Every structure is written in structure tokens, then in C-alpha cells.
Amino acid sequence: MHLKVLLIVLLITLVVDNSDAKKRRKKKTGNQIATCKKTDIENLVSKLNALRTDTQGCCERSEDDAALYINLIEIKNNVTKARTIIEEVKTDVEEMKNDVTVKQDIEEMKNDIEKMKIDTSLMKELLEKMHNSQCESAATNPPEPETTELQQTTEVTANYPIDCSDKTGFTGVTIIQPEGQDSFPAYCSERCVYITRRFDGSVDFYRGWAEYQAGFGNPDGEYFVGLDNLHGLLAQGNYRLRIELTTWPPQNETRHAEYSTVKVADASDNYRLTIGQYSGNAGNSLGRHNGMPFTTKDRDNDPNSDNCAIRFKGAGWYTSGCHNTNLFGSYSSGPVCPARGVCMSWYHMFGNHSHSLKKVDMKICPV
Ligand SMILES: [Ca+2]
């Protein structure tokens, strides 16, 4: 179209030029007319050449532009595809993050690994002790092959303390074995056996019956010693239960509640709690739980019409009104509990069920 317009313009120009030439011819001689015609033709050829060059350039530019446009469309399509894939991956990651089962499994595996690490370390110490003992024994007495293995087993078993009462000045994890019970690792400090440590929320306490029976977490970090171990420990003598409760900054205040009477029944009686003779400055929030069996989210032993463990996201010796303290409840990252009563709380310290503690230690100490 552009080329046609230009040709029409040129033809008009040529007609006008020819008209002008005719006028000039009336005034000029034959030679002058010939010269003019030659000049006109040369001008016309020159203009045609210029037009051809320009037209070719236009075509080439159009082809380049078209190729560029196609490339841009392809790039745009690829960007759209990439965005779609990113969105899909993002959704998958979110789903994985929200997969509570996977998170719990990973948490349990981590805890198991930590337990194995402690067990391995303690076994190593034990083996060294056995080796030294065997060497001393071999130096003084002739070996008796038929009974050596049994004697070693008996000796090893006898090496475990029944609690931490003799470990003055010791703080850390050790194996204890209450009389007639299985051995287990526990955290000890100031001659007390810690049955629960909570201080950073790294261990989930919203667990089922079997886990509360066996214990969970890491004795060197957050953990619960296990109901069977707790029963075995308390069954062998007179102990006091000391609970230390610490608030969040800026107060960082630690208060305590002590109970000079404390027993926990065995599994046949659902680990029923016997508690009394309170003293301390935190208030007697656990006193009301005296005589209650233990309840978890999958084992409702509480006298409330609901399962209090499910209702308050924890486990414990819940009452008909559920609780005055929910020390196995959710760990909150600040003093304000997101939902009333579900957090690690102690009613008589704050006069409400919405204040969450930063740190809790529950320990069994010699009387
Ligand atoms: Ca109930």
C-alpha cells in the first residue's frame, strides 16, 4: 500500500514536471528541450532507486519485528508455565508443612535418636566400668567361666542407683533403676529426679496413652519420664514433689509448689494421683487433682462428661471441672494463651486460666 501511494505521488510529480516542461519548451530551443528531458528522466530514475531501497529496508525491518514479536510471545508463554509450576510446588510445600503426621513422626524420630545417643554414651561408660572391674577381679581371683556372665549381669544391675539422692553436686542425665523396676535415663540435679522439664516448646506434649506410659522427649532437654517409671520411683520410699514455675520476661519470676505426700498408682488403677501437704508460694493448684486418674486424648478416665485432654490440648490427672493446672498442655511462645485453659498454666499464680508459663520443672526429691 505504501509503495502504491509513493508511485502515484511520483507519477503526479512527473505529470506536473512534464506540464512544466511543455511550458518551458515553448520558450526554449530544441537542444535545451533534450537536456531537460534527460535531466527529468535521471531524476525519476534516482527517485525510483531511492524508493526501492527504502521499501526493501521496510520489509527487512518488518520481518525482524515479526521474529522478535514471536520470540516475545514464546518467552511470555514460558514465564506463564514457570509461574504455574512454581505455584504447584508452593502448594505441595504448604501441604507438606501442614502434614501433622509427618511432623510428629520426625519429632519422634529425633527424640528416639537423642535417647539412643544417651543410652550409647551410658553403655560405653558401663562397659568401661565392667572392663576395669573384670580386670581387678581377674588379678585377685581365678575366673569361673560357668557363672561369670550371670555375675556380671547382677553386678551391672546393682550399679544403678535407685534415685538421685546420693548424687550430691551432680547435674545431668544418668540411669537410675528403682527397686524391682526397669532402668531408665533421667535428669538429676540437687539430688532430685526430674519427671518433667519444659522450657522452649521443642517437645510436643499432646500425646496418647502409650507414650505417657513409656515417657517421651529427651532427658537432657524437654521430656516426661513416663508414668510407669514415675510409679516405680514413688513406690519405693518417701519423696516430696517439687514444682517450679517460671514466668516470661520481663518478670522472669520463679515460684514453687511442694507436696510432701505424693504417690502415683500403677497402670491397673490408671496411675491415680495421691497428693497432699502443700507448701510454697505458687498456690495449691494441683491439690484439687488429688485422687484423680490419668487421662490422655485417647484414654478418657476423667469424671468430666468430655475428655479434658482433648478439650484442653494436654494430658493429666483431670478433675470433674477438668483442671486448675494444665502442666502438660500446649507451650505458648508468650504469656498470653491463645485459647483459655489449653496452655501450660497454674491457676493460683495468676487467678485465671489464660496465663501461660515460660518454664516448668517437676521433680521428685528425697524427704
Ligand atoms: Ca471424661
Instruction: Please tell me the predicted confidence (pLDDT) of residue 309.
Output: 98
How many other C-beta atoms are found inside a 10 Å radius of the C-beta of residue 269? 12
Spacing, Cα 293 to ligand 1 middle (Å):
11
Of the candidates 275, 342, 336, 274, the one whose C-alpha atom is nearest the C-alpha of residue 308 is 342
Instruction: Please tell me the predicted confidence (pLDDT) of residue 145.
Output: 40
Print the domain residue range for 111: 102-156
Q: Are residues 27 and 71 in the same domain?
A: yes
Half-sphere exposure of 215 (CA within 13 A, CB side): 24
Q: Are residues 274 and 303 in the same domain?
A: yes
Spacing, Cα 300 to ligand 1 middle (Å):
5
Instruction: Please tell me the predicted confidence (pLDDT) of residue 159.
Output: 79
SS (H, E, C) 269-305: HCCCEEEEEEEECCCCCCHHHCCCCCEECCECCCCCC
Q: 144 to each of 95, 138, 149, 152, 316, how far by Cα in Å? A: 63, 10, 9, 12, 51
End-of-domain residue from the set 67, 95, 123: 95
Q: pLDDT digit string (tens) for 248-300?
A: 999 999 999 999 999 999 999 999 999 999 999 999 999 999 999 999 999 99
Q: 278 to each of 66, 293, 294, 349, how far by Cα in Å? A: 89, 20, 20, 14
Percent of the chain with pLDDT over 90: 56
Instruction: Evaluate the CA torsion angle 319, 324, 328, 330 in order and state its sign.
Output: positive
Instruction: For the chain, give the number of residues.
Output: 367
Specify the CATH number for the domain of residue 285: 3.90.215.10
Distance CA 123, CA 176 (A): 13
Contact 203, 223 (CB under 8 A): yes
More confident residue, 27 or 239: 239
Task: Spell 167-202 as b/e; 16+ CB within 10 A means b.
Answer: beeeeebbbbbbeebebbbbbbbebbbbbbbbeeee
Q: Stretch 230-244: mean pLDDT, rounded?
A: 96
End-of-domain residue from the set 45, 64, 95: 95
Q: Are residues 342 and 217 in the same domain?
A: yes
Q: Is 106 helix (H, G, I), strand (E, B) or coil?
A: helix
Q: Are residues 176 and 281 in the same domain?
A: yes
Spacing, Cα 195 to ligand 1 middle (Å):
25
The DSSP code for 215 is -
Spacing, Cα 48 to ligand 1 middle (Å):
102
Q: Are residues 144 and 50 in the same domain?
A: no
Q: Are residues 187 and 42 in the same domain?
A: no
Average of per-residue pLDDT values in the chain: 81
Instruction: Please tell me the predicted confidence (pLDDT) of residue 83.
Output: 76
Of the candidates 208, 263, 241, 245, the one whose C-alpha atom is nearest the C-alpha of residue 327 is 245
Instruction: Please tell me the predicted confidence (pLDDT) of residue 144.
Output: 45
End-of-domain residue from the set 141, 156, 171: 156
Instruction: Please tell me the predicted confidence (pLDDT) of residue 129.
Output: 61
Spacing, Cα 315 to ligand 1 middle (Å):
12
pTM: 0.61
Query: Does the pLDDT of residue 4 top 90, yes or no?
Result: no
Spacing, Cα 233 to ligand 1 middle (Å):
28
Task: List % helix, strand, coil for the chain (3-state, nearest 5).
Answer: 50, 20, 30
Q: Are residues 149 and 171 in the same domain?
A: no
Q: Are residues 234 and 274 in the same domain?
A: yes
What's the Rg (C-alpha) of the chain? 45
Spacing, Cα 212 to ligand 1 middle (Å):
18
Spacing, Cα 270 to ligand 1 middle (Å):
13
Instruction: Please tell me the predicted confidence (pLDDT) of residue 36.
Output: 60
Spacing, Cα 59 to ligand 1 middle (Å):
86
Spacing, Cα 36 to ligand 1 middle (Å):
119
Instruction: Please tell me the predicted confidence (pLDDT) of residue 136.
Output: 55
Q: Are residues 167 and 73 in the same domain?
A: no
Q: Stretch 6-19: mean pLDDT, rounded?
A: 47
Q: Are residues 329 and 246 in the same domain?
A: yes
Spacing, Cα 275 to ligand 1 middle (Å):
21
Q: pLDDT digit string (tens) for 308-328?
A: 999 999 999 999 999 999 999
Q: pLDDT digit string (tens) for 148-167?
A: 343 334 344 457 999 999 99
Of the candidates 116, 333, 309, 328, the one whose C-alpha atom is nearest the C-alpha of residue 222 is 328
Instruction: Evaluate the CA torsion angle 62, 64, 65, 70 in order and state its sign.
Output: positive
Confidence of residue 351 (pLDDT cuts 50, 70, 90): very high
Query: Does the pLDDT of residue 97 top 70, yes or no?
Result: no
Query: Does the pLDDT of residue 66 top 50, yes or no?
Result: yes
Spacing, Cα 311 to ligand 1 middle (Å):
10
Q: Are residues 320 and 349 in the same domain?
A: yes
Spacing, Cα 194 to ligand 1 middle (Å):
29
Domain count of the chain?
3
Q: Are residues 170 and 200 in the same domain?
A: yes
Beta bridge partners of 343: 330
